[in-house]
Structure 1
Amino acid sequence: FILFVEDVGIDAEDLHHIVAALDEKGVFFHIRALVIGKIADKEIIKNYQKFNFIFRGNKKPVREKPEKIFPYLLGRVLVQRQKQKNPLPILKIENLGHGIKKDTMILPIGSKVIIYPGGKIEFVGPFVR
């Protein structure tokens, strides 16, 4: 399975709770990849700064991109999966269909998918039985 995650106007604290709940249930050990869609950049960076200070005591300004919060929140999972020779690929895409007028797409939920290192996603049919 591939988990698609997209922010729907939540802040980093709520995102942390969601990721922690999924982690507690072992979801990140049962997926093949994580695809991150659009996230609230300014809000995430502001909260990432807060997390960085609270958990690491670091007062330096955050220059990380907002999508770095997932590797930050999933650090333990990523390390364990790497040790098991089963790394978790994380793909960040800017737009998963919002406001696209040209080349619109339909995501076939439950279909086989191949994610290539260059960021290309291929959906493998058949999609209808």
Structure 2
Amino acid sequence: MSYEKIGFIAPSTCLSAKEKPVLNRTARFLKQALGVEEPYFSPHLFSSDAEIDHVTAPVEARAEVFKKAIRELDLIISVAGGTGAEDLVREIDGKDLRIIRDRRPLFIGFSDFTFLLNEIYHACRVPVIYFPSLKVGKGDFRNLLALISGDEIQYRGASWLTPPPPRRLSGIPLGGNLSTFVNFLNRGVPPKFSWKRHILFFEDVQVDVEDLHRLLAALRRHHVFAGIKGIVVGSVSPPGKNSSSKEPGRDAVRFILSYLADVIKERRQQGRPLPILTVSNFGHDIRRNLMAVPIGGHVTISRSKRISFRLKKRPARNGLAA
């Protein structure tokens, strides 16, 4: 096992004091399973910045922790989503990116951390894992540990919104939280992807149909739907309802099909259909069998809706990056 040093950081919003036992439990699980030394805990896990209280610390302090983590840790876990992780992108320089490419630490995060996960994959071609790291039940932990170890893990999709592909669908997972992923793309110089190699996974919370319209329109402007190999839709819940409610999912699904009807038709006529699959265990407030998505890894989806993920084992590296 090549993950010898693990640590927990808070690049955006902090944990509440009542979540400390959950943090300690997760750290204990990983320490025992990976056989590593004592985990590193960022000094900002439970703090709030004096000026902007929804982030843990000034961006310079958060960036300092991040830069330390990429140089010293092998497994870097973001403890919470929230707001503000994207601030770190402007503090990350070319030297930091070279260190990530060379050391290849594995990042795990969720929600707002979507921005950094996709940035790291895009800039460094280093795979990462989209997963709410502190929501680890026994089954979730087994899957996460298997994925970290380089083994294949499997889930079951809910339903095809389009005809299933004629054969199994394989590609590179991309995405995460939809609002944050769109924000990641919406830049003066947008990141470039070969969409035809990727399968987009997205979920969101506190998003109504009008919000969803804007988000899908942004993806269309970035030519995602014209090229993407396939789409997997998790829970998309509107304000005031949690994602375990079935009705918000139906509303979102109905709109997605309506909005993409012309794209689905055009791609079918071109002989390169756009498969769209829904899943019930990907998103906020999901409590059982949480899906761990290896962005930059590998996914295979069968006609029978079996989803298989794999992440290449991290190669052993000698020496410490400076």
Q: TM-score, normalised by structure 1?
A: 0.71
Partner of 2:302: 116
In terms of fraction of residues, the more strand-rich structure is: 2
Q: Pick from 213, 233, 237: which aligns with 1:36?
A: 233
Partner of 2:199: 2
Please give the secondary structure, in 1, of the residue aligned with 2:235: coil
In structure 1, the gaps of 5 or more residues are 44-64
Report whether the alignment pairs 1:99 with 2:287: yes
Shift of 1:109: 1.1
Amino acid at match of 1:92: T
Is the 2:202–2:233 contact (alpha carbons within 8 Å) kept by the matching residues of 1?
yes
Shift of 1:95: 1.5
Shift of 1:125: 4.1
CA-atom RMSD in angstroms = 2.4
Shift of 1:126: 2.0
Q: Which has the higher contact order (CA 8 A, sep 6+)?
A: 1
Q: 1:104 to 1:74 in 2, by over 3 A?
A: closer
Mapping of residues 1-129 of structure 1, within 5 Å: 1-40=198-237, 65-66=250-251, 67-96=253-282, 98-100=286-288, 103-129=289-315
State percent identity of aligned pairs. 36
Partner of 2:318: none
CA deviations on 1:54-112 (whole Å, 9 max, x unpaired) are xxxxxxxxxxx331221111111111110111111111111216222xx5553211112
How many residues are matched?
Answer: 107
| Alpha-carbon distance between aligned partners in 2 of 1:18 and 1:113, rounded to the nearest angstrom | 24
| Alpha-carbon distance between aligned partners in 2 of 1:113 and 1:40, rounded to the nearest angstrom | 25
Structure 1 runs (4+) deviating above 6 angstroms are: none
Q: 1:19 to 1:11 in 2, by over 3 A?
A: same
Q: TM-score, normalised by structure 2?
A: 0.31
Partner of 2:125: none
Please give the secondary structure, in 2, of the residue aligned with 1:18: helix
